[in-house]
Amino acid sequence: VSRMAGLARQHGRPLLVMPGGTFNHFARSAGLVDVDTAIDALQSGTTIEVSAIEVRADGGEPILALNAVSVGTYPELIDERDRRRAALGKWLGGIVAAWRTLRGAESLTIAREGRRAQVWSVFVGVGRNDPQRVATMQRETLVEPTLDVRIHHARGSRARAMASLAFGKRTAAVLRAVGLMPPRSDVERLVVEEFEMTVRLEEGHPSVFVHDGELEEQSPGGFTLRCVAVPRAVTVFASPLPGR
């Protein structure tokens, strides 16, 4: 979807998103809860101009993201899963990857505005997200051109680092009830229009980031990410929901 969104923006065409993925984060935000609803939106011509993130790594070519950009524990989980996917499949590979990441997760150093911090992860979401969550994958608004940044400082355990990646509200609620979700004091939140950070990595640490679930490998040792909120980035077919 993210790749097609970039092409839709480049060629000035509307984007139709079909909810056929694992979590359908963006499709749900557009009110497209099933395929029939998406087809209805296409046939009726109901569209909305949505905001997005334009991200550049080390000043390279811009990448358009519709949900979030992330460094830290989540990209490492995706990297581990992708390396095991051919042999184990997506779901079993994901379970093994989660177990190995839980056992071996290491914090990383980020630098921004002259300050350094040890973090488990950084999520840069487009549009405001649920304030109770760390993983900003489910945007609450399609229009607002802001970045909702969550910096999970490495003050807790690896188990909390993994629990913070919970995407579902029910899962997050259960983990919060048993004390596995990180406390609010460990998560720094910023609502901004632009965000830049330099990621510094120890030898052997994977040099990767993720945008909308897609893994991007970078040069060893670290990289600089610059994220900018783009208003009216893409025209998308959407269900006519109030407030969208």
Set out the domains of the chain in order of their start, with CATH numbers. 51-230 (2.60.200.40)
pLDDT tens by residue, 20-64: 877 788 998 899 999 999 999 999 999 999 999 999 999 899 999
Residue 156 pLDDT more than 90? no
H-helix or E-strand spanning residue 192: strand 187-192
Query: Of the candidates 115, 111, 7, which has an alpha carbon nearest to the alpha carbon of residue 66?
Result: 7
Does residue 138 or residue 12 have the better pLDDT?
12
Greatest mean pLDDT among 9-13, 153-157, 215-219 lies in: 9-13
Instruction: Give the pLDDT confidence score for residue 242 in this predicted structure.
Output: 41
Q: Please name the residues in contact with 46: beta carbons below 8 A apart, sequence gap of 6 or more.
A: 237, 238, 239, 240
Residue 128 DSSP SS3: coil
- Ranking 55-59, 65-69, 90-94, 118-122 by mean pLDDT, the lowest is 90-94
The tokens describing 160, both together, are 């909390």
Rounded Cα–Cα distance for residues 170 and 181 (Å) = 13
pLDDT tens by residue, 191-214: 999 999 999 988 777 889 999 988
CA angle at residue 51 from 146 to 228, to 5 degrees?
A: 50
Q: Please name the residues in contact with 154: beta carbons below 8 A apart, sequence gap of 6 or more.
A: 107, 118, 119, 120, 161
Assess contact for 211 and 29: CB atoms under 8 A. no
- Ranking 24-28, 70-74, 92-96, 181-185 by mean pLDDT, the lowest is 92-96
